[in-house]
Amino acid sequence: MIIDFHARLHPGLLSGMDAAGIDRAAVSAGGLIGLDRLSVHLTEGGRAEVKAANDDVYDHCARSAGRLLPVYFADPVRDLRSYTSDAREFCGLELSPAVHGFRLDDPRVADLLLVAAEVRHFVYVVTVGRAGAQARDLARLAGAHPSLTFVWGHCGHTGLDFLGLTEVSPVPNVMAELSCCLTVTARAAVDRLGVSRVLFGTEAPLQDPGVELAKIAALDLSPRDRHAVLAGNAGRVLRLGPAQPHPPS
Protein backbone atom coordinates (compact mmCIF):
# COMPACT_ATOMS: atom_id res chain seq x y z
CA MET A 1 0.00 0.00 0.00
CA ILE A 2 1.33 3.43 -1.01
CA ILE A 3 -0.51 6.69 -0.30
CA ASP A 4 0.65 9.89 -1.98
CA PHE A 5 -0.10 12.62 0.54
CA HIS A 6 0.37 15.48 -1.91
CA ALA A 7 -0.52 15.43 -5.59
CA ARG A 8 -2.10 18.00 -7.89
CA LEU A 9 -5.14 17.31 -10.03
CA HIS A 10 -4.08 16.70 -13.64
CA PRO A 11 -5.36 14.55 -16.52
CA GLY A 12 -2.83 11.75 -16.14
CA LEU A 13 -3.04 11.42 -12.37
CA LEU A 14 -4.62 7.98 -12.09
CA SER A 15 -2.56 6.44 -14.89
CA GLY A 16 0.60 7.88 -13.33
CA MET A 17 -0.38 6.39 -9.98
CA ASP A 18 -0.89 3.01 -11.61
CA ALA A 19 2.52 3.16 -13.29
CA ALA A 20 4.21 4.00 -9.99
CA GLY A 21 2.23 1.54 -7.89
CA ILE A 22 0.50 4.24 -5.84
CA ASP A 23 -2.87 3.18 -4.46
CA ARG A 24 -4.37 6.43 -3.16
CA ALA A 25 -3.57 10.13 -3.24
CA ALA A 26 -4.64 13.28 -1.43
CA VAL A 27 -5.28 15.74 -4.25
CA SER A 28 -5.54 19.51 -4.44
CA ALA A 29 -5.85 22.01 -7.25
CA GLY A 30 -2.73 22.96 -9.17
CA GLY A 31 -1.61 25.42 -11.79
CA LEU A 32 -3.09 28.46 -10.06
CA ILE A 33 -0.19 30.59 -11.33
CA GLY A 34 2.63 29.91 -13.77
CA LEU A 35 5.92 28.57 -12.51
CA ASP A 36 7.84 31.70 -13.52
CA ARG A 37 5.53 33.85 -11.43
CA LEU A 38 5.56 31.35 -8.57
CA SER A 39 9.35 31.49 -8.44
CA VAL A 40 9.15 35.27 -8.17
CA HIS A 41 6.68 34.98 -5.30
CA LEU A 42 8.92 32.51 -3.51
CA THR A 43 11.89 34.86 -3.76
CA GLU A 44 10.42 38.34 -3.67
CA GLY A 45 6.86 37.93 -2.42
CA GLY A 46 3.59 38.74 -4.12
CA ARG A 47 -0.08 37.88 -4.16
CA ALA A 48 -2.11 36.29 -6.94
CA GLU A 49 -5.84 37.02 -7.07
CA VAL A 50 -6.68 33.50 -8.18
CA LYS A 51 -9.23 30.99 -6.97
CA ALA A 52 -8.58 27.27 -6.89
CA ALA A 53 -10.92 24.98 -8.80
CA ASN A 54 -11.97 23.09 -5.68
CA ASP A 55 -15.25 21.95 -7.26
CA ASP A 56 -13.31 20.25 -10.07
CA VAL A 57 -11.07 18.54 -7.53
CA TYR A 58 -14.08 17.25 -5.64
CA ASP A 59 -15.82 16.01 -8.80
CA HIS A 60 -12.77 14.10 -10.04
CA CYS A 61 -12.18 12.55 -6.64
CA ALA A 62 -15.83 11.52 -6.34
CA ARG A 63 -15.46 9.52 -9.57
CA SER A 64 -12.26 7.74 -8.51
CA ALA A 65 -13.78 4.91 -6.45
CA GLY A 66 -12.02 6.16 -3.34
CA ARG A 67 -8.52 6.40 -4.80
CA LEU A 68 -8.40 10.22 -4.87
CA LEU A 69 -9.10 12.22 -1.72
CA PRO A 70 -9.95 15.92 -2.18
CA VAL A 71 -8.06 18.67 -0.35
CA TYR A 72 -9.53 22.19 -0.24
CA PHE A 73 -7.09 24.88 -1.47
CA ALA A 74 -8.14 28.10 0.27
CA ASP A 75 -7.25 31.77 -0.03
CA PRO A 76 -7.66 33.22 3.48
CA VAL A 77 -8.61 36.58 2.01
CA ARG A 78 -11.80 35.42 0.33
CA ASP A 79 -12.54 31.71 0.83
CA LEU A 80 -13.79 31.50 4.42
CA ARG A 81 -17.47 31.35 3.43
CA SER A 82 -17.02 28.75 0.68
CA TYR A 83 -14.68 26.62 2.80
CA THR A 84 -17.12 26.73 5.71
CA SER A 85 -19.90 25.61 3.39
CA ASP A 86 -17.99 22.83 1.63
CA ALA A 87 -15.43 21.64 4.17
CA ARG A 88 -17.16 18.38 5.04
CA GLU A 89 -16.84 17.23 1.43
CA PHE A 90 -13.02 17.41 1.66
CA CYS A 91 -10.37 15.63 3.70
CA GLY A 92 -7.99 18.51 4.41
CA LEU A 93 -7.07 22.15 3.90
CA GLU A 94 -4.16 23.59 1.91
CA LEU A 95 -2.85 27.12 2.44
CA SER A 96 -0.19 28.68 0.22
CA PRO A 97 1.63 31.86 1.29
CA ALA A 98 3.57 31.62 -1.98
CA VAL A 99 0.45 31.85 -4.15
CA HIS A 100 -1.83 34.07 -2.08
CA GLY A 101 0.78 36.20 -0.33
CA PHE A 102 -0.51 36.15 3.26
CA ARG A 103 1.18 35.87 6.63
CA LEU A 104 0.43 32.89 8.84
CA ASP A 105 -0.48 35.22 11.70
CA ASP A 106 -3.22 36.86 9.61
CA PRO A 107 -6.50 36.63 11.60
CA ARG A 108 -8.19 35.30 8.47
CA VAL A 109 -5.94 32.23 8.66
CA ALA A 110 -7.12 31.65 12.21
CA ASP A 111 -10.74 31.84 10.99
CA LEU A 112 -10.06 29.04 8.48
CA LEU A 113 -8.38 26.97 11.17
CA LEU A 114 -11.46 27.14 13.37
CA VAL A 115 -13.41 25.47 10.56
CA ALA A 116 -10.62 22.95 9.95
CA ALA A 117 -10.67 21.96 13.61
CA GLU A 118 -14.43 21.49 13.56
CA VAL A 119 -14.29 19.07 10.61
CA ARG A 120 -11.00 17.45 11.71
CA HIS A 121 -8.96 18.50 8.70
CA PHE A 122 -5.20 18.47 8.49
CA VAL A 123 -3.64 21.75 7.29
CA TYR A 124 -0.98 21.57 4.55
CA VAL A 125 1.39 24.55 4.27
CA VAL A 126 4.55 25.13 2.23
CA THR A 127 6.53 27.79 4.06
CA VAL A 128 8.63 30.41 2.27
CA GLY A 129 11.57 32.62 3.19
CA ARG A 130 9.58 35.76 3.97
CA ALA A 131 8.83 36.97 7.49
CA GLY A 132 5.43 35.78 8.63
CA ALA A 133 5.42 32.66 6.45
CA GLN A 134 8.58 30.85 7.52
CA ALA A 135 8.91 27.52 9.30
CA ARG A 136 9.18 29.30 12.64
CA ASP A 137 5.84 30.97 11.91
CA LEU A 138 4.26 27.61 11.09
CA ALA A 139 5.66 26.19 14.35
CA ARG A 140 4.16 29.11 16.26
CA LEU A 141 0.79 28.66 14.52
CA ALA A 142 0.73 24.93 15.22
CA GLY A 143 1.60 25.54 18.85
CA ALA A 144 -1.42 27.83 19.13
CA HIS A 145 -3.71 25.16 17.59
CA PRO A 146 -2.63 21.87 19.22
CA SER A 147 -5.77 19.99 18.18
CA LEU A 148 -4.90 20.36 14.47
CA THR A 149 -2.36 18.38 12.48
CA PHE A 150 -0.19 20.65 10.34
CA VAL A 151 1.76 19.22 7.41
CA TRP A 152 4.94 21.08 6.44
CA GLY A 153 4.99 20.68 2.66
CA HIS A 154 8.24 19.71 0.90
CA CYS A 155 10.16 20.14 4.19
CA GLY A 156 10.30 23.83 3.27
CA HIS A 157 10.75 25.45 -0.12
CA THR A 158 14.53 25.13 -0.60
CA GLY A 159 15.00 21.35 -0.49
CA LEU A 160 17.60 21.81 2.24
CA ASP A 161 15.78 23.62 5.04
CA PHE A 162 17.60 22.25 8.08
CA LEU A 163 16.79 25.44 9.99
CA GLY A 164 13.12 24.75 9.37
CA LEU A 165 13.50 21.17 10.61
CA THR A 166 15.02 22.52 13.81
CA GLU A 167 12.13 24.94 14.26
CA VAL A 168 9.25 22.51 13.67
CA SER A 169 10.74 19.47 15.38
CA PRO A 170 9.70 20.44 18.96
CA VAL A 171 6.06 20.94 17.89
CA PRO A 172 4.42 17.50 17.94
CA ASN A 173 1.44 18.38 15.73
CA VAL A 174 3.64 19.34 12.76
CA MET A 175 4.43 16.56 10.30
CA ALA A 176 6.83 16.77 7.34
CA GLU A 177 5.86 15.88 3.76
CA LEU A 178 8.91 14.86 1.73
CA SER A 179 8.21 15.67 -1.91
CA CYS A 180 10.84 17.78 -3.69
CA CYS A 181 13.33 17.94 -0.82
CA LEU A 182 16.81 16.42 -0.99
CA THR A 183 17.47 12.89 0.25
CA VAL A 184 19.66 14.24 3.04
CA THR A 185 16.79 16.44 4.19
CA ALA A 186 14.33 13.55 4.09
CA ARG A 187 16.71 11.45 6.18
CA ALA A 188 17.12 14.29 8.67
CA ALA A 189 13.32 14.64 8.91
CA VAL A 190 13.02 10.98 9.88
CA ASP A 191 15.85 11.33 12.42
CA ARG A 192 14.75 14.63 13.99
CA LEU A 193 10.96 14.35 13.89
CA GLY A 194 10.66 10.60 14.19
CA VAL A 195 9.27 8.27 11.55
CA SER A 196 5.68 8.73 12.78
CA ARG A 197 5.75 12.39 11.70
CA VAL A 198 6.93 11.90 8.10
CA LEU A 199 4.74 11.54 4.99
CA PHE A 200 5.45 10.44 1.43
CA GLY A 201 4.24 12.79 -1.30
CA THR A 202 5.01 13.40 -4.96
CA GLU A 203 3.89 16.91 -6.03
CA ALA A 204 2.85 15.24 -9.29
CA PRO A 205 2.75 16.32 -12.08
CA LEU A 206 5.63 18.72 -11.34
CA GLN A 207 7.66 15.84 -9.96
CA ASP A 208 7.81 12.30 -11.32
CA PRO A 209 6.41 9.91 -8.67
CA GLY A 210 9.21 7.45 -9.45
CA VAL A 211 11.78 10.01 -8.31
CA GLU A 212 10.06 10.37 -4.96
CA LEU A 213 9.74 6.61 -4.52
CA ALA A 214 13.45 6.25 -5.29
CA LYS A 215 14.19 8.80 -2.58
CA ILE A 216 12.25 6.76 -0.04
CA ALA A 217 14.13 3.62 -1.14
CA ALA A 218 17.44 5.46 -0.68
CA LEU A 219 16.61 6.14 2.96
CA ASP A 220 17.06 2.40 3.62
CA LEU A 221 14.28 2.28 6.21
CA SER A 222 13.21 -0.85 8.00
CA PRO A 223 10.09 -2.49 6.53
CA ARG A 224 7.99 -1.16 9.41
CA ASP A 225 9.31 2.40 9.05
CA ARG A 226 8.99 2.31 5.27
CA HIS A 227 5.33 1.29 5.61
CA ALA A 228 4.76 4.16 8.07
CA VAL A 229 6.19 6.73 5.66
CA LEU A 230 4.54 5.35 2.54
CA ALA A 231 1.10 4.61 3.93
CA GLY A 232 0.59 4.17 7.67
CA ASN A 233 1.05 7.78 8.75
CA ALA A 234 -1.07 9.08 5.88
CA GLY A 235 -3.83 6.61 6.67
CA ARG A 236 -3.87 7.87 10.24
CA VAL A 237 -3.98 11.56 9.28
CA LEU A 238 -6.59 10.95 6.56
CA ARG A 239 -8.61 8.66 8.87
CA LEU A 240 -8.76 5.91 6.26
CA GLY A 241 -10.15 2.48 6.86
CA PRO A 242 -8.50 -0.63 5.44
CA ALA A 243 -7.94 -0.09 1.73
CA GLN A 244 -9.24 -2.48 -0.90
CA PRO A 245 -7.28 -3.26 -4.06
CA HIS A 246 -8.24 -1.07 -7.01
CA PRO A 247 -8.24 -2.08 -10.66
CA PRO A 248 -5.95 -0.15 -13.00
CA SER A 249 -7.46 3.04 -14.42
Query: 3-class SS at 75?
Result: coil
* Residue closest to 87 by CA, chosen among 104, 70, 110, 106: 70
Please give the model's pTM, rounded to 2 decimal places.
Answer: 0.95
Distance CA 232, CA 63 (A): 24
Percent of the chain at pLDDT > 70 equals 96
Task: Give me the number of domains the chain comprises.
Answer: 1
Pairing verdict, β 92-95 and 3-8: unpaired
Say yes or no to pLDDT of 243 above 60. Answer: no
Tell me whether residue 33 is in a domain: yes
Tell me whether residue 216 is in a domain: no
In eight-state DSSP terms, residue 70 is E
Decide: 93 and 116 in contact? Cβ < 8 Å: yes
Tell me whether residue 248 is in a domain: no
Tell me whether residue 214 is in a domain: no
Say yes or no to pLDDT of 248 above 50. Answer: no
* Residue closest to 193 by CA, chosen among 172, 178, 213, 212: 172
CATH number (domain holding residue 41): 3.20.20.140
For 67, the domain range is: 3-208+222-238
Distance CA 114, CA 249 (A): 37
